[in-house]
């Protein structure tokens, strides 16, 4: 016997889960929302939002730094603990305000982890909840790094909570989380060494642009150990030693104040005990779903970062939630369609990407042209003394439309949205070339990009 029954149970109170729970009660359904960690999820607590708070300060510092000797004669004084306090002003109110919002809307909230008892029933701290529909939106967390001394590692979550910025830091992992972490810390005064298994950072982005970013990083003093992995961490007084092994099997040892582990994330599905009820996951432990976000069980759905559907990005989760909500509560039969989605690394400078990659273009037998240029000498880059400005646009020449865009440099993280719109709406490039964008802005470089 269940203690409680709901028409809809949502597990995970991040943005996707909250959206589904709200849509359920709005449609007149009884709904429960269960969260083992703090209400709010990754984005406002441990992801996009706090990261951007730190990034805003790092970017201001970085801009000053780029103009040293060109107006600025010194860098501003800075306090990491002041920045952390400012950041906590954003994150700390979230759990209570999120949970209150849910309650105010008539959603019953549970602060504990959920475990399947049977396919319709979850145990939540000893209470049994039965749901006609169960929606899993448990998100992801940093993957453990299985090496000796892993207890000395801080995760990227913990980096965002650090009380002080050390003088030296090693960052393990060069994806967007590792790169952003390294760039924020370096801009704010920390010596950073990156350890990455690939030969360039940001391997989900364009390889040529990533190589330019690493070059710019190295020019300003960020150190890279490429084609390498951390194999052990040891405490050495107040500091740490990190063994780093390269692909040739060569091991070196780094000494540093702090080691931040940003290599990989895994879905938060272990405590659910999915296998007990036969919910299938993929090789990355993500919950398998169809294009209606339904798992292999008819009444169980999954979305957001824990689901094997779309990129693990907040707006993708929000979009998936809108599809699921329409289907579950408005009788729609929408399917998720992850038509090119812009992705961004808030590096310094920013990296951004949407649509077809250069590798896909090479492999394609379509009539495509690649407009690739390192445009450091363009006014857009020069006037702020940008470290690097480069782009790669992929145009389908037969159809006269943009199909891919990859940007590195000032304005990239914003301009990618405009190019996404151009790709998605299939606006002819001949039409784009006639546009009168405001000058001087990042968008005003597009015409020149298309000619490059």
CB of 292 or CB of 315, closer to a copy of itself: 315
Q: Annotated binding residue at 257?
A: no
Residue 100 as a binder of a copy of itself (CB under 8 A): the answer is: no
Select the residue interacting with a copy of itself from 328, 343, 355, 391 (CB under 8 A): 343
**Beta strand 121-124 with 127-136: parallel, antiparallel or unpaired?**
antiparallel
Select the residue interacting with a copy of itself from 27, 64, 226, 297 (CB under 8 A): 64
Residue 144 as a binder of a copy of itself (CB under 8 A): the answer is: no
Cβ contacts of 435 within 8 Å, gap of 6 or more: 446, 447
Cβ neighbours of 390 (radius 10 Å):
25
Residue 79 as a binder of a copy of itself (CB under 8 A): the answer is: yes
Select the residue interacting with a copy of itself from 245, 285, 315, 400 (CB under 8 A): 315
User: Could you give the residue ranges of the DSSP H alpha helices within 272-389?
Assistant: 274-277, 314-329, 358-363, 379-382
Q: Annotated binding residue at 180?
A: yes
User: Could you give the residue ranges of the DSSP H alpha helices within 92-206?
Assistant: 94-104, 156-159, 176-187
Residue 101 as a binder of a copy of itself (CB under 8 A): the answer is: no
DSSP 403-450: EEEEEESTTHHHHHHHHHHHHHTT-BHHHHHT----TTSSGGGHHHHH
Q: What are the start-end ranges of the E strands in 339-389?
A: 343-345, 351-355, 368-374
Query: How far apart are alpha carbons 36 and 55 in whole angstroms?
Result: 28
Q: Annotated binding residue at 264?
A: yes
Residues numbered 404-423 forming contacts with a copy of itself, rule: CB under 8 A: 411, 413-418, 420-422
Select the residue interacting with a copy of itself from 254, 316, 405, 407 (CB under 8 A): 316
Residue 437 as a binder of a copy of itself (CB under 8 A): the answer is: yes
Residue 140 as a binder of a copy of itself (CB under 8 A): the answer is: no
CB of 34 or CB of 416, closer to a copy of itself: 416
Closest CA to 169 of 197, 188, 148, 149: 188
Closest CA to 19 of 284, 291, 293: 293
Q: Annotated binding residue at 176?
A: yes
Residue 82 as a binder of a copy of itself (CB under 8 A): the answer is: yes
Q: Annotated binding residue at 123?
A: no
User: Could you give the residue ranges of the DSSP H alpha helices within 105-243?
Assistant: 156-159, 176-187, 207-219
Query: How far apart are alpha carbons 17 and 134 in whole angstroms?
Result: 11
**Beta strand 108-111 with 31-35: parallel, antiparallel or unpaired?**
parallel
CB of 194 or CB of 381, closer to a copy of itself: 381
3-state secondary structure at position 42: helix
Select the residue interacting with a copy of itself from 33, 287, 344, 388 (CB under 8 A): 344
Residues numbered 12-41 forming contacts with a copy of itself, rule: CB under 8 A: none
Select the residue interacting with a copy of itself from 26, 270, 284, 382 (CB under 8 A): 382
Tokens of 293: 């976000």
Q: Annotated binding residue at 149?
A: no
Residue 275 as a binder of a copy of itself (CB under 8 A): the answer is: no
Select the residue interacting with a copy of itself from 26, 335, 359, 383 (CB under 8 A): 383
DSSP 270-300: GGGTHHHHT--B-TTSPBP--TTSB-SSTTE
CB of 36 or CB of 342, closer to a copy of itself: 342
Binding span for a copy of itself by CB under 8 A among 197-205, 217-225, 365-373, 441-449? 441-449
Query: How far apart are alpha carbons 69 and 133 in whole angstroms?
Result: 62
Query: How far apart are alpha carbons 381 and 75 in whole angstroms?
Result: 21
Number of chain residues interacting with a copy of itself (CB under 8 A):
69
DSSP bridge partners of 220: none
Residue 43 as a binder of a copy of itself (CB under 8 A): the answer is: yes
Q: Annotated binding residue at 278?
A: no
Q: Annotated binding residue at 179?
A: yes
Residues numbered 208-227 forming contacts with a copy of itself, rule: CB under 8 A: none
CB of 74 or CB of 249, closer to a copy of itself: 74
CB 92, min distance to a copy of itself, A: 14
Cβ contacts of 239 within 8 Å, gap of 6 or more: 255, 256, 257
CB 53, min distance to a copy of itself, A: 5
Residues annotated as binding site for NAD(+)? 173-180, 264, 305
Which positions touch a copy of itself (CB under 8 A)? 43, 48-49, 52-53, 56-57, 59-61, 63-64, 67, 69-80, 82-83, 86, 90, 313-316, 318-319, 341-344, 352, 379, 382-384, 411, 413-418, 420-422, 424-425, 427, 431, 434-444
């Amino acid at each position: 016997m269940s203690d409680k029954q709901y028409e809809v149970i949502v597990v995970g109170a991040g943005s996707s889960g909250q959206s589904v729970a709200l849509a359920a009660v709005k449609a007149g359904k009884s709904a429960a929302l269960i969260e083992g960690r703090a209400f709010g999820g990754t984005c406002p607590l441990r992801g996009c939002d706090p990261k951007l708070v730190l990034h805003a300060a790092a970017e201001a510092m970085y801009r000053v730094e780029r103009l040293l000797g060109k107006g600025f004669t010194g860098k501003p004084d800075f306090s990491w603990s002041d920045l952390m306090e400012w950041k906590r002003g954003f994150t700390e109110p979230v759990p209570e305000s999120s949970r209150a919002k849910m309650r105010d809307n008539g959603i019953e909230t549970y602060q504990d982890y959920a475990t399947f008892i049977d396919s319709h029933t979850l145990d939540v701290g000893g209470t049994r909840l039965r749901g006609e529909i169960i929606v899993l939106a448990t998100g992801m967390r940093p993957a453990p790094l299985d090496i000796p001394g892993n207890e000395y590692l801080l995760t990227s979550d913990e980096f965002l909570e650090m009380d002080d910025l050390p003088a030296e830091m090693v960052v393990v992992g060069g994806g967007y989380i590792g790169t952003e972490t390294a760039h924020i810390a370096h801009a704010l005064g920390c010596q950073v060494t990156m350890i990455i298994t690939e030969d360039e950072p940001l391997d989900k982005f364009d390889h040529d642009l990533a190589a330019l970013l690493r070059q710019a990083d190295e020019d300003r003093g960020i150190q890279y150990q490429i084609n390498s992995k951390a194999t052990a961490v040891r405490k050495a007084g107040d500091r740490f030693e990190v063994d780093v092994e390269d692909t040739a099997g060569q091991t070196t040892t780094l000494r540093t104040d702090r080691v931040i582990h940003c290599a990989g994330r895994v879905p938060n599905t272990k405590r659910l005990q999915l296998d007990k009820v036969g919910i299938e996951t993929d090789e990355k432990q993500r919950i398998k779903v169809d294009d209606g976000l339904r798992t292999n069980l008819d009444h169980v759905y999954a979305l957001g970062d824990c689901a094997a559907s779309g990129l693990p990005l907040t707006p993708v989760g929000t979009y998936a939630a809108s599809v699921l909500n329409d289907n579950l509560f408005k009788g729609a039969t929408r399917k998720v369609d992850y038509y090119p989605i812009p992705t961004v690394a808030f590096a310094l400078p920013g990296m951004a990407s949407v649509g077809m990659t250069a590798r896909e273009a090479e492999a394609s037998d379509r009539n495509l042209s690649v407009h690739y240029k390192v445009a450091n000498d363009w006014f857009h880059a020069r006037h702020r003394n940008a470290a690097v400005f480069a782009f790669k646009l992929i145009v389908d020449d037969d159809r006269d439309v943009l199909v891919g865009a990859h940007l590195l440099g000032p304005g990239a993280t914003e301009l990618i949205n405009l190019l996404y719109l151009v790709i998605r709406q299939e606006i002819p490039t001949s039409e784009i070339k006639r546009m009168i964008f405001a000058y001087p802005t990042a968008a005003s470089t597009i015409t020149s990009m298309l000619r490059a």
